[in-house]
Amino acid sequence: MTRRVVITGMGWITPLGHDIESAWKRILNGESGIAPTTIFDAGTFPTQFSSEVKGFDLRKFLGDTFEQHKDVSRQAGFALAAARLAWADGAMDKAAKLDKTRIGVYLGGGEGPMDFDNFTAAAVDGWNYAENKLDTQRWADVAYQRLQRIVEAEQDPNMAAAHIAALFGVEGPNFNTLTACAASTQAIGEATNMIRRGDADAMISGGCHSMIHPFGVTGFNRLTALSTRNDSCITASRPFDRTRDGFVLGEGAGMLILEELSHAKARGARIYAEIKGYGSTADAFRITDIHEDGRGAIAAMRLAIADAGLSPTDIDYISAHGTGTEENDKIETKAIKGVFGDRAKQVPVSSVKSMLGHLIAAAGACELITCILAIRDQVLPPTINYSTPDPNCDLDYVPNEPRRTKVRTCLSNSFGFGGQNDTLVVTAYAD
């Protein structure tokens, strides 16, 4: 019999708040975390705004353990804080006895400002301006020095997982996946499967990311993926709206405590919900584009629903990837129709990226948390800034206002660069 996996703790660091309840309240109020960029001077960039985490102080979350982790990267700091919140929310710190060799970490993460700074500095320092070419020997020397700085500062993308393990003394499996926008959904799915097959009894899982940096913004601007609505940035993230012009870059972290059901029951844990299904596919198409027919997205959703032992008629709500790009929203809509058929227009679909921005590797975990809260409170988060219907996007996107309704089963989509598609199905817990 497959071991059941439940969610017993949650924590996040988001542009709308650093605790579950205040950020959730702002989401239901349709508030936006998007504002002019302050992390760097973006005044000459095509996109001059983002969705930043404001007022963050890692020391407040770590207390006496701060010195051990004070040199982590910005995104790893977000992950540590969110993990600390999830650990406390799950009352793991109050458990009488935990076998920490059976508790692991599985994160979705990626490159960030520390990597960008050192990469660009190495490139500049290694350029022979007199001959207008790269001095490979000098570049190698400089790049090595820069790499040493990253290693010494423990700021590699995988280091967040290592720091979380050290923070709680958990000695079980420890992984980090770098599958871009799908990373934390994939991490949670794979962590679920590790518990199911008996490799661990509990996992700290989720994702973290911060790419609000000249290098990150330039890259997405070059791909024409970012909104350039500088005159009205608070309304720039417009998933599924006909006037959408790209996503808004955000940052943050979302972390969950996943447990095998009997393990959670044995310690008297509060159970929020159950992860019932997981599907993961690749488009095998282009590096930055999803397949025009949505074949990978369709397959991931179908796999997740089948893994849950459910049918499309059982899904009450879809948390869309919903980036606000012309391509993603149109193809995701097509993919939902491919899975749900005639029922597609009856299933509510919304994107909290309209408020949070796109948290890249952290997006899926934070969006799964909103699904769990939707089940808890029987209310759906809205897609804000929706005003102009698009004939290519003709589903029920819960426009602009939250919706009170029966919510038992949610499907959460994440689609990453490289054609990575990951879907989770989460349900209300029942014995």
Per-residue pLDDT reduced to its tens digit, 161-170: 999 999 999 9
Q: CA-to-CA distance for 280 and 187, rounded, in angstroms?
A: 11
Tell me the pairing of strands 133-134 and 127-128.
antiparallel
Convert the pLDDT of each residue in 286-299 to its tens digit. 877 788 899 999 99
Q: Which of 118-132, 278-292, 360-374 has the lowest mean pLDDT?
A: 118-132
Question: Tell me, what's the pLDDT at 121?
Answer: 67
3-state secondary structure of 78: helix
Q: How many C-beta atoms lie closer than 10 Å to residue 10's C-beta?
A: 24
Please report, as a single letter, which amino acid is at residue 73.
Answer: S
Alpha helical stretches, state H, 228-385: 261-266, 295-307, 326-340, 353-356, 363-377
Measured between alpha carbons, how far is residue 360 from residues 97, 337, 402 in Å?
Answer: 36, 25, 24
Per-residue pLDDT, 129 = 79
Query: In this predicted model, which residue has the larger pLDDT, 28 or 147?
Result: 28
Q: Which residue has the tokens 């952290």?
A: 362
Domain boundaries, the chain: 5-112+157-427, 114-152
> Can you give the pLDDT at residue 148?
61
> Tell me, what's the pLDDT at 115?
65
Percent of the chain with pLDDT over 90: 81
Query: What CA–CA distance (Å, rounded) separates 156 from 20?
Result: 28
β-bridge mates for residue 257, sequence order: 9, 204
Per-residue pLDDT averaged across 343-356, rounded?
Answer: 98
* pLDDT recorded at residue 400: 98
Q: What homologous superfamily does CATH list for 5-112+157-427?
A: Thiolase/Chalcone synthase (3.40.47.10)
3-state helix, strand, coil split of the chain in percent (to 5) is 40, 20, 35
Taking the CA atoms of the chain, what radius of gyration do you get in angstroms?
21
Whole-angstrom distance, CA of residue 386 vs CA of residue 270: 36
Checking if the pLDDT of 152 tops 60, the result is: no
pLDDT at residue 418, rounded to an integer: 80
Residue-level pLDDT at 117: 67
> What integer is the mean pLDDT of 115-127?
68
State residue 417's pLDDT score.
82
How high does pLDDT run on average in the chain? 93
Answer positive or negative: Cα dihedral of 405, 394, 318, 371: negative
**What is the predicted pLDDT for the residue at 155?**
52
pLDDT digit string, tens, across residues 391-400? 999 999 999 9
Helix (H) or strand (E) holding 82: helix 74-89
Q: In this predicted structure, what is the pLDDT of residue 287?
A: 75
pLDDT confidence bin for 110, thresholds 50/70/90: confident
User: Measured between alpha carbons, how far is 257 from 105 in angstroms, rounded to an integer?
Assistant: 10
Backbone region of residue 289 per phi and psi (left: phi > 0; alpha: psi in -120 to 50; beta: other values): beta
The residues assigned a catalytic role are 181, 321, 358
Residues 6+ apart with CB under 8 A from 421: 182, 279, 280, 281, 282, 283, 290, 296, 297, 299, 300, 413, 414, 415
- Residue 362's identity, in one-letter code, is A
For the ranges 60-74, 121-135, 199-213, the lowest mean pLDDT is seen at: 121-135
pLDDT digits (tens, 9 = 90+) for 220-239: 999 999 999 999 999 999 99
By the 10 Å C-beta count (0-12 exposed, 13-18 middle, 19+ buried), 368 is classed as: buried
Assessment of whether the complete model's pTM goes beyond 0.85: yes
Question: Rounded CA gap, 366 and 61, in Å?
Answer: 19
Q: How many CB atoms lie within 10 A of CB 158?
A: 16
Q: Which of 184, 46, 167 is nearest to 110 (CA)?
A: 184
Query: From residue 229, how far is each of 236, 243, 247, 251, 420 by CA, in Å?
Result: 6, 11, 10, 19, 28
Could you read off the pLDDT of 249-269 as tens digits, one per residue?
999 999 999 999 999 999 999
Non-local (6+) Cβ contacts of 92 within 8 A are: 9, 98, 168, 202, 257
